[in-house]
Amino acid sequence: MQNLTNCPVCNSTAFIPFMKCKDNTVSRETFQIVKCNSCGFKFTNPRPEPSELGRYYKSEEYVSHSNTKKGFINSTYQSVRKYTLLKKLQLISKYYKTGRILDIGCGTGEFLNTCKSAKWETIGIEPDDDARNMAIKNYGLDVRGEAELKNLHDESFHIITMWHVLEHVPNLNERIEELRRLIKPTGIIIIAVPNCNSLDAKIYKENWAAYDVPRHLYHFTPADMETLFRKHGLKVFSILPMIFDSFYVSMLSEKIKTGKTNIIRSTWNGLRSNLSALKSGRTSSSQIYLIRK
Ligand SMILES: [Zn+2]
């Protein structure tokens, strides 16, 4: 196990235990989330060594890396994904009609393939060999291993995206420095991460599926994201809600909590979470952060 001695956001050395969570998808092991005494940032600590993390991703149930259609939750996930792919393309098209895009943690390549069909020049980075090979085989995409990131040219991308990826990256600050190096002076970095300030996180507590320890190493709030990127000379200039995530995460959380799928209760909690985010802002289950230099 790797024990962080400094807060990845503010570098403070004082943390307090925040919550114990179980890995509900792969190992069933319990992990500690700590909270920084100075800035309040929450992170999984201790955490598996980077070389050990791979085995915590090996599960049929971990749908982000596969295309299984078994069960109601997974089939809903797949249908919603089709719709959200188009919404993501619309989002980047607001800033650039076309250009060079880098998707870090591109998985099996569905988003990049959507961009490629819209005439974008695409490059993907994906550490998982199986997912990377599927992206190459299914869509003919240019997808490379994580070590290739450092070989990409400075300021060569109009858009860089990380969809639910930053919370998985062991070397958080180095990765953000890399984003700053790679993005064009007028480019946009788009990062989606879960929000542990959401109502669904408060309802489900240690059963909230988006804590997803130990795969999720960090548990961001909007304020954490702003502080973290400011430290690297980058600015969060807009935050957008991801309204489907509250339903999806509530469905998974309900199952973790009770052992059963409860569509009515999870839909209700997903709806409550979205309504509360509408009222107070910045509290959606997952949010998209738009960032520039
Ligand atoms: Zn801190």
- Please tell me the pTM assigned to this model: 0.92
Structural fold of domain 69-292: Rossmann fold (3.40.50)
Instruction: Encode pLDDT of 222-271 as tens digits.
Output: 999 999 999 999 999 999 999 888 998 999 999 999 999 898 999 999 99
CB atoms within 10 A of CB 10: 16
The residues spanned by each domain of the chain are 69-292
- CA of 13 from ligand 1 middle (Å) equals 8
- CA of 10 from ligand 1 middle (Å) equals 4
Instruction: Encode pLDDT of 83-131 as tens digits.
Output: 889 999 999 999 999 999 999 999 999 999 999 999 999 999 999 899 9
- Residues near ion ligand 1 (CB < 5 Å) are 7, 9-10, 12, 36, 38-39, 41
